[in-house]
Structure 1
């Protein structure tokens, strides 16, 4: 699977496409995706969401995705790192900072498009238009100040929209959302996602982690980890060129036999057969 790296702290990629030509990929940065026109399907971390004009998606590091375009689509990808949520001198008590920090640490991609209200969509697209115009004058001494202010406004509105959905449809508690995001981010680091490590990271007693996780997600921590790994492996097999032994090593299996056995248990087929059938 390809990994896209952002070499600058901020960029905008605005384009039209009738067909998606990028392979499935993940990032080292955050990405707000604006749909300006068109419709189709957006595949994110193994889940599929319909999209149409006005929709806005937020993806974080390690999320992987691609599009199936049904009608000519105009995209605007706003890419940035976490510097947006940092304060500047004299800005230590900024009210927006914890709001944005919470948004960026919440696995919002599990809901598809963040914004549902038409008026909120219009506000965000107006802000995007201003942001793109300002980027044409990036040599201005005021550019970074204006850019960061616009970005913070966009992210605060996204956070407000996401919060507003909570009263409409139940979602996992924030602490569980944070834990899900953390586990996904560290899925290949066995030490980081052990019960003892999660307990230390999220300030819970080790004995309570499993109970807490199952109560709020409906499955054990171990099952969630395995299922998420299988989804990532399926993407690797479908879109990547790495050998089975390389994939097994990446995802922490002791050998290729153990890897094949567990993959078959959860998918009904072996990794080699899965790749061959594709």
Structure 2
């Protein structure tokens, strides 16, 4: 795999037969089908793929491709380092770490294409074509262009997943939808998830905020945030090889024991049990 930047990597690979990929300590890869045919398989459920298909490939071995015609993939790998602050006078992407976790926690991880909305699919293809072009060009600006394009790639994916999550669910208050989106995309930022900050940002009385949230969501604000974090933790236990202690700290828990205890209270299973069941 060629490192285009020390915080992300892309690769073009041609396979006649699928090979499980070594992707230590990363969240997932996007797999963009440049040509070829076959099936995307998750837990023995197969979905056909063809040219221009876009799929999510987590670390877990339950995801694979059944190749019927020689297939060329463009892989875009995301790691935690990609979203860390940097000192190279480039954009600070630390806030996008939240979106990476949002994707992990809210995507269904079933077989099939990552994007269902036709317009979003076209938009994502255009962005991936930019990455492919810059990957081939490899000039002094290519790394910067790819890095910035990846920001847009994640935004399109998040938008599509959020739209899927809201399908069939309606809210009378548009401001409340904006509030939920803000919480989802800032789930790791304790300051931005404080009642004081949210009340000021969305022009809601701080003393009325808890009542406002419960009236619209039918659950307490604290419970909603906790369940969102646990959903991310559960997904990362299943579909990544990130150490559990690291997941716990990133999501704001005291340590892995604290996270395990709360996870068991809500799901009846701890993180290690969840990971063992999924990855063997």
In which range does the TM-score fall when normalised by the shorter chain?
Answer: 0.5 to 0.7
Indicate how the Cα distance of structure 1 residues 59 and 109 shifts in structure 2: closer, same or farther if over 3 A, else same: farther
SS at match of 1:110: coil
What's the counterpart of residue 164 of structure 2? 165
Cα deviation, 1:176-202, whole Å, max 9, x if unaligned, reads: 321213433469879x99xx9556248
What's the counterpart of residue 82 of structure 1? 80
Supply the distance in 2 between the matched residues of 1:99 and 1:187 (Cα, whole angstroms). 16
Supply the distance in 1 between the matched residues of 2:8 and 2:90 (Cα, whole angstroms). 23
SS at match of 1:27: coil
Supply the distance in 2 between the matched residues of 1:14 and 1:151 (Cα, whole angstroms). 16
Supply the distance in 1 between the matched residues of 2:244 and 2:266 (Cα, whole angstroms). 21
Cα deviation, 1:101-150, whole Å, max 9, x if unaligned, reads: 4345436362333201122111111111111111233231x222211111
Q: Are 1:57 and 2:55 counterparts?
A: yes
Q: Per chain length, whose mean CA-contact separation is higher, i.e. which structure has more relative contact order (CA < 8 Å, sep 6+)? A: 2
CA RMSD of aligned residues (A): 4.1
SS at match of 1:111: coil
* TM-score between the two structures when normalised by the length of structure 2: 0.58
Cα deviation, 1:200-246, whole Å, max 9, x if unaligned, reads: 248xxx4x543411xxxxxx316x8557525534xxxxxxxxxxxxx
Q: Between Structure 1 and Structure 2, how many residues are aligned?
A: 212
Indicate how the Cα distance of structure 1 residues 119 and 189 shifts in structure 2: closer, same or farther if over 3 A, else same: closer
Supply the distance in 2 between the matched residues of 1:128 and 1:145 (Cα, whole angstroms). 15
Indicate how the Cα distance of structure 1 residues 139 and 56 shifts in structure 2: closer, same or farther if over 3 A, else same: same
SS at match of 2:129: helix
Contact residue 10 and residue 80 of structure 1 kept, 8 A:
yes
Alignment of structure 1 residues 1-278 onto 2, 5 Å: 9-17=7-15, 19-22=16-19, 24-28=20-24, 29=26, 30-44=28-42, 46=43, 48-53=45-50, 54-61=52-59, 65-88=63-86, 89=89, 91=91, 97=96, 99-103=98-102, 105-106=104-105, 108=107, 110-112=109-111, 113-140=113-140, 142-168=141-167, 174-184=228-238, 185=240, 198=256, 200-201=258-259, 206=261, 209-213=263-267, 220-221=268-269, 226=273, 229-230=276-277, 232-233=279-280
SS at match of 1:160: helix
Indicate how the Cα distance of structure 1 residues 138 and 25 shifts in structure 2: closer, same or farther if over 3 A, else same: closer
Indicate how the Cα distance of structure 1 residues 167 and 51 shifts in structure 2: closer, same or farther if over 3 A, else same: farther
Indicate how the Cα distance of structure 1 residues 6 and 212 shifts in structure 2: closer, same or farther if over 3 A, else same: farther
Uncovered stretches (5+) of structure 1, i.e. residues with no partner:
214-219, 234-278
What's the counterpart of residue 217 of structure 1? none
* TM-score between the two structures when normalised by the length of structure 1: 0.58
Supply the distance in 1 between the matched residues of 2:83 and 2:244 (Cα, whole angstroms). 26
Contact residue 115 and residue 157 of structure 2 kept, 8 A:
yes
**How far 1:66 sits from its partner (Å)?**
2.3
Indicate how the Cα distance of structure 1 residues 197 and 221 shifts in structure 2: closer, same or farther if over 3 A, else same: farther
Supply the distance in 2 between the matched residues of 1:177 and 1:26 (Cα, whole angstroms). 25
Supply the distance in 2 between the matched residues of 1:58 and 1:107 (Cα, whole angstroms). 13
**How far 1:77 sits from its partner (Å)?**
1.2
Supply the distance in 1 between the matched residues of 2:70 and 2:114 (Cα, whole angstroms). 22
